[in-house]
Amino acid sequence: MASVLNVKESKASERTVVVAGLPVGLFIDQLLVILVKRHFQDIKNEGGDVEDVIYPTRTKGVAYVVFKEKKVAENVIRQKKHRLGRKAGHAELTVSHFSDKIFSSVSAILDLSVFGNEATLETLVKDLKKKIPTLSFSPLKPNGRITVEGSFLAVKRLKESLLVRASSLLEKTRNFTSEGRKWNRQNPQKNLQRSNNSLVSVRTLVPETARNGEMLVLDTDIFLYLKHRCEFYESTLKKFHILSQEKIDGEITTIYLKNFQVGSQPNNVKHVKELIEEWSHALHLELRKETFILKGKENREKRMIKSACEQLSSRYPGVFMSFYRTHIDIIGSSSDTYLFKKGVMKLIGQKVS
pLDDT digits (tens, 9 = 90+) for 256-284: 999 876 656 668 898 999 899 888 878 87
Closest CA to 321 of 333, 309, 339, 307: 309
* CATH code, 13-97: 3.30.70.330
Q: Provide the Cα torsion 152, 157, 163, 164; round to 10°.
A: 170
How does DSSP classify residue 140?
P
Tell me the Ramachandran region of residue 343: left when phi exceeds 0, alpha when psi lies from -120 to 50, beta otherwise: alpha
Closest CA to 141 of 115, 108, 111: 111
Closest CA to 94 of 72, 56, 61, 68: 61
Below-50 pLDDT ranges, the chain = 1, 100-102, 176-177, 179-206, 208-210
- Beta pairing partners, 249: 252
pLDDT of 137 reads: 87
Taking the model in full, what pTM does it have?
Answer: 0.51
Tell me whether domains 13-97 and 105-176 share a fold: yes
How does pLDDT run across 45-85, given as a tens digit for each residue?
889 999 999 998 877 788 999 999 999 999 998 887 898 87
- The alpha helices in 27-151, defined as continuous H runs, are 29-41, 70-78, 118-131
What separation, in Å, do the N-terminal and C-terminal C-alpha atoms of the chain show? Answer: 27
pLDDT of 209 reads: 46
Closest CA to 51 of 95, 7, 91, 20: 7
pLDDT of 162 reads: 82
Rounded to an integer, what distance in angstroms lies between the CA atom of residue 209 and that of residue 258? Answer: 6
pLDDT of 127 reads: 85
Q: Is CATH 3.30.1370 correct for 213-286?
A: yes
Count of CB atoms situated within 10 Å of the CB of 270: 13
Rounded to an integer, what distance in angstroms lies between the CA atom of residue 346 and that of residue 121? Answer: 51
Domain boundaries, the chain: 13-97, 105-176, 213-286, 288-348
- Beta pairing partners, 207: none
Peptide bond into 56 cis (omega under 30): yes
User: What are the residues whose beta carbons fall under 8 Å from the beta carbon of 10, sequence distance 6 or more?
Assistant: none
Domain 105-176 class in CATH:
alpha beta
